[in-house]
Amino acid sequence: MVLRSILGIWMAAVTAFVFLLPPDPSLGHSAKAIFFHVPMAWISAVAFLIALLYGALYLKRRKIEDDTVSSASAGIGFWFCLGATISGSIWAKASWGAYWNWDPRETSVFILLLIYGAYFALRSAVSDEALRARLAAVYAILAGTSMPFFIFVIPRLLPSLHSSPIIARKMEIDATSFALLLTSLAGYTGIYIWLLKIRIRVEEVMRKG
């Protein structure tokens, strides 16, 4: 309860500060989508890696709790990845004139969404709990291993409209905006941890019930 209240106040403050910032001279208010796009993209990558880690732990220890964490983290990562795609399309409209351009980064993230969509299709198609957990663990490892290539490697190997990450170019934005971006990043990380705990608790209750 306390964590939820802190996170709520935190993100409300971040959102308020974002909308109080003056519009970008060339992109207008659409440029503010970056304060949500970058943190959501970061959380999706972290969540998919956690799903990989706990998938590997399940194969090693055969504890259903590890499968629960892996599945919960993959689910949260999927929705954050979708949010990053939507917020990125707002930026793309302002920067490139269209919401979707089949840019290498946009395309690779779209493929990543399909990969994790198939992960949940796999889980729903198998009724046996132990078999589902084993298959999902292997899939989570394969998907998580490919994720860095789709997010970080492939877009850099091909000509892209997408700029390099803002955090790597922090000298190009003012100190206030960079501090706000880091604050938003911390807040979204807290939200991920909170959501993960809730998802794990729900899964445990459903399994026992």
- Using one digit for the tens of pLDDT, what is the confidence trace for 192-209? 998 999 999 988 888 776
The predicted pLDDT at position 58 comes to: 97
The predicted pLDDT at position 163 comes to: 54
Q: Is residue 84 part of a domain?
A: yes
Return the ∠ at Cα 87 (arms to 17 and 44), rounded to 5°.
Answer: 100
Q: Is residue 19 part of a domain?
A: no
12 Cβ neighbours under 8 A, 6+ residues apart? none
The predicted pLDDT at position 113 comes to: 93
Q: Is residue 26 part of a domain?
A: no
User: CB burial class (10 A; 0-12, 13-18, 19+) of residue 194?
Assistant: middle
Q: Is residue 132 part of a domain?
A: yes
Q: Is residue 23 part of a domain?
A: no
Q: Is residue 27 part of a domain?
A: no
Q: Is residue 28 part of a domain?
A: no
Which amino acid is located at 16 in the chain? A
The predicted pLDDT at position 8 comes to: 65
**Segments of the chain with pLDDT less than 50:** 165-171
- What domain range includes position 188? 2-14+33-208
The predicted pLDDT at position 184 comes to: 80
How far is 43 from 108, CA to CA, in rounded Å?
Answer: 17
The predicted pLDDT at position 19 comes to: 67
- CA nearest neighbour of 87 among 44, 152, 40: 40
Q: Is residue 162 part of a domain?
A: yes
Question: How many structural domains are present in the chain?
Answer: 1
